[in-house]
Structure 1
Amino acid sequence: MWQPKGNGVKKTGGNGLIAVAVDKDKSSQHALKWAVDNLLNRGQTVVLIHVAQRTSVSSVSSNCATTNPHQKQPDKQIRDLFLTFRCYCTRKDIKCFDVLLEDVDIVKAITEYVSFAAIEDLVLGAPSRHGFMRKFKADVPSSVSKAAPDFCNIYVVSKGKISSKRNASRSAPFTSPLLDQLQSQNDISDTQSRYSMNLRGLSPARGRGFDRKSFMDSSESDTDISFVSSGRPSSDHSPSMHYEFVDVGRNSRISTSSEHSLGSFRLGLRYSDRSSPYDLSSISQDSGATSCSCSSQNLDEVEAEMRRLKLELKQTMDMYSTACKEALVAKQKALELQRWRLDEERRLEEARFAEETALSLAEKERARCKAAVEAAEAAKRIAELEAQRRLSAEMNRLKESDEVKIASSNLSTKDLRYRRYTIEDIEEATQFFTESRKIGEGGYGPVYKCYLDHTPVAVKVLRPDAAQGRSQFQREIEVLSCIRHPNMVLLLGACPEYGIIVYEYLANGSLDDRIFRRGNTPPLSWQQRFRIAAEIATGLLFLHQTKPEPLVHRDLKPGNILLDHNYVSKISDVGLARLVPAVAENVTQCHLTSTAGTFCYIDPEYQQTGMLGVKSDVYSLGILLLQLITAKQPMGLTHFVERSIENGTLGEMLDPTVTDWPFEETLGFAKLALQCSELRRKDRPDLGKVVLPELNRLRELADESMGQTFFGGSLCPSSKSNASMTMQANS
């Protein structure tokens, strides 16, 4: 009957029946297109199978019980569904044979019809759902592939490609109930084609150059099969072939129609044996003898039907011509409306843009006026604050001048708490302040190393132009002469007339120099850093517990922490220290004073309000502790350490010169330092109750670790560096 394409899928012997399961989804269109491209040739017939799924068996029984099987025709939705695929097949010169199955189970309906009609090749479209949806919804192609008879080749097509294939294990039967029907349909189609040619020669539409095939080819591309308009009633006058067969397990209704059949004939068949679907001899006695529309007895009916169809064709052609003219007019009107709409939209957009521009300019002008008013008010406030600041500074200057006078008179007459050196003693020891004796210089003035009374000392000389240097000098002498503590620098004497202070000499310099390894000095071990932190907190707590009033350092930083030859830390530069009023233990100690200290180490709350308290030194201590373990500059250090702790990358922030940081202890050390450097004073921990106990615990851990290293037979690097620094100091 037909031969497969040479470049298509390889075929074996059989009856040559090819069927495509169709539905309203895109997968059915891909399946039909693949079948036309790979299995079908021009002039062949393809069986289009559609299953109308019913919800209950009772409705099936009632439909099958009707005496006339032609009473229930496929509804408009089913006809439009078949029409879409028939139009595509017509353009490809493929004949169609439509089959409508009504059943509750789609898979069972398809497989039983394939067995009944002896279909050799069945093409199904694969659903486009993703794997999650396929898990909860039955896959019809897979179920059909499993349940179909073994003589049928099953092709499952997904987006124009074969996704799965099940080959037949034996050849399909050469006989099929559909072969006679298809042959009869082809004969009738040939007869109708001859009548159509005669009708086309006599039709008035010939003068207008109407060509059905050329119209269909030009109206839509060959690859698109979803082109049938749903807005106009379908003019499908293709008669249908309906027949029923009764199965033992359920009742199914099958209706078929042919695209190329212009005649009308009906065949009523009823089967009762499910096991032999190919036996056409078991025709029901109730339906009577089979009536064939192609027999000689009904030839008159066929001719009458042909005349009716010619009249309908003429009317359809006239209606089409009128519709084309109306469509052209409507298209021109639509284009004009489109141009008008675009012009209106452009004008509206221009008006909107102009309005937005005007609003923007007005808003900018309003903001400019508001900013000018605010600037004027701010300038007025700044002027008022500046006047108050000047007045306050003048009063403080007068007060400090009085204090200096009183302190100078006290020091020059009866204060014997420190040794007084003459300027001749200092000049002789420093070799008249030679540069070779100079070991450092700060904001206060230069510092020289020399020997007084056969003791190495550090001499700090007040620079004549130092701002407020004289008051700080007097303050430092007053504070250091009254206190003694292992972690406070020791005052040996002074020459108050020339602003000279004599300290004990500390061989290892400042903590700032050791953290940043100036002079290529060896790095501090983590044990030494933990011990230094605890010593600084101890000395600071000593200042805060002085009687009768607490003493606040106000300038605590690594540069003001000095280290002796054993790396014992001592707090120096107490020239900015101030007394705060003594209050109850549960009340914060504060004192209103002018801001002093070093940027990045000053308490933010003290800097804003001028309220000084013991927790102002706690903030400076927090920044110092962070520098002690990271060896980084103080600017933004709290933010970087806090973010590294949140991201779990604290190890990258630690000083890389130390390779054996104890992570858990260092993490606790960093969190304690962050608590000390909180912006609000009330959020910082108490130095004596929280900070110092934790630092002492870490110092004990460091001492144990250093003891284990020493008794293990190796001298730690810090001990070696201590020895070398001691030799340099004695040289």
Structure 2
Amino acid sequence: MEEKKAARTLSEHLSLPRPPPHAVAVAINGKKKSKYSVLWALDKFIPEGFSDFKLLYVRPPVTYVPTPMGNAISITELRDDVVSAYKQEVDWNTNEMLCPYKKMFERKKVQVEILVLESHDPAAAIAEEIARTRVTKLVIGMSLLGFFSRKIDMSSMIATAVPRFCTVYVVSKEKLASVRPSDSEASTRFERSSTTSVSTDSHTVPSEHSVSEAQSRFSHLSEMSRSTVVQMDRSSSETEQSGNEGKKSINSSEISSASYHAMSCTSKWRDLEDRREIVSSSSSNNHELANMDWGAVVPENYSFVSHQASNMSDGLLSVHSLTDNQVDMSFEIEKLRAKLKHVQEMYAMAQTETVDASKKLTEQRSEESENLVELKEKEEELMMEEALHRREAEIKAERDAKEKDNLQASLVSPGIQYQHYSWEELAAATSDFSEDLKIGVGAYGTVYKCNLHHTTGAVKVLHAGETQLSKQFDQELEILSKIRHPHLVLLLGACPERGCLVYEYMNNGSLDDRLMLVNDTPPIPWFQRFRIALEVASALVFLHKCKPRPIIHRDLKPGNILLDHNFVSKLGDVGLSTMVNQDDAASKLTVLKKTSLVGTLCYIDPEYQRTGIISPKSDVYSLGVVILQLITAKPAIAITHMVEEAIGDDAEFMELLDVKAGAWPISETRELAALGLCCTEMRRRDRPDLRDQIIPALERLRRVVDKAQNSISRNLSGPPSHFFCPLLKGVMNQPCVAADGYTYDREAIEEWLIEKDVSPVTNLPLPNKNLLANYTLYSAIMEWKSNKQ
């Protein structure tokens, strides 16, 4: 009954339909060792007639996008264009990686289809693709694991997951490591084994007793073999454990290889046992199996198994010839012996390398400890040097701070220091305050020209209604005696008894006189007006930043801006200025002090007029009016309205400009006018900052001024006299020296010498008519012409 059931199962297994042959599939992981699988597949299957190949590569799907900081962001949190760009980059990298493999197939002149699969489970993805395409040959690389790893390697997972109609070849370094045959190949091998056993004794029918006895004997042999394998593994593991005491590291790659080969040997042994059982099921093989060379099947380590197996088989089986199946089994056992020997050699090598690595690690640790000691010593030295430098820097900072305090104390002393002049000295210097020496009348006094100690100056005498202790006199004396600035009028001395102040003399009078052409004074060129605006602004910044108490002028106007002989402007008449506390100046509202309303109409800050609160922005308003007057030379009343109406139209704006100043540059002048309008805004907070906005704008415009001034000065200045030819009476083009020692233009002197033999200058005969080029004078003439252009 059991024989019939086994025969039915065998017939059903052999009658299963075989899948049609397809292309050969090669699965790679993209690493360098994948090329061995491709090379082995090409060498194996091209000679067998295969010309179609499929290259399988599995990569994880894109679910996150890496960032430059090393993090990753989910694609659900990013824009579609960013995700698409990253996927294109991944595709490009994949194509670059697969390009060398494609060239390997092209060199063999075979067709290849590259399939890129996306999955987190490579084994399942490859198995699904094999099931879909019905490929019957799959080549994969062998993956190695550590000796103590309990995980299943990827090659085993793939071989398990792939459908049974496909044969899986596992390749290691261009050599076949193992094969998982398909069902069709297993059936063919079983059928060949059965056919061989039947053909050996076709007329003998085995009895149930003989078959069962053979099976029991071989079952007992199998149990002994398994026990022997377990004992050998246990003894080898104990030996390894006792020999490895004191070792801290193991070469993981070598042990992984040994573990793989050991598992392969075990699987081969079990395959041989399966083959033995197949052969033992046939009655005609009893004699052959009884006399089989089990010493060749079982390794040398299993010799006592071979001895007992031969004792049990004596008198039971007789062998006349070896079948093909027995030859295959002997070949497999020899391969297992060679692999086992190779594993033992690898293990010995791993032990040697472990000892060497331990020695190197000890030496490296000693070197690192020495380096650490040196680094600590250097760190301590650097810390000491840094502390020393820090101390030196602190001492230097303290010394600099003391010097700065001493300098400020010397420049701004708490007491008032000035040159004292007597009334008699001032009267003598002004010819008893002669009307001929009167140069101006101010709101609080009259100004006379004087000559004190061979120095020309200007004496300001308070009006009769003012006392010598008037507020304006004390204010101006206090301010001008303490501070110095290139664009502030210099105070030479004072006569407190009569309320007189002595200043340096300003040759070109006030800016108001030059703009309004008082006493037929010549007008100021436009480029000098740009410079004057910058100079006045810098003087105001100096006053506003004075320490310890900032100063606000409060009466800025063209009449209080004086010009020296070079038209350098200096700010005067600071009698109405006010000095405020530093705490008020640092307030966020920039509101400094409530004062009584002083100043000149049309120049006073509208917000100051309305509230009586003064601030640095009050001087900014006055500066804006002065800038507009510099451009137009018109009175201050309604000047803001006129410029606002004309600035948008070029024609009207050009008509508004002061034509007596020359040819204004329209772009720069419009920018200066816009700056003046910003300064005259009604609200204080809308006006620009003096130091951070107005000064940079005026400095940039000054560059245009300097360029124009240099160009005008070059055009106005003529060439030197020695550039002229005595014959042409003009600048020479090619200067040369004649025999009389004078320089002439070459063309002119050559025409002269054609007709005459005398000198054009001395009228004396020339010793010769030779001409010598004057290269030095020629270079000077060329430089002058280039500057003139």
Q: What TM-score comes out, normalization by structure 2 length? A: 0.37
Which structure's CA Rg is the greater one? 2
Q: What TM-score comes out, normalization by structure 1 length? A: 0.40
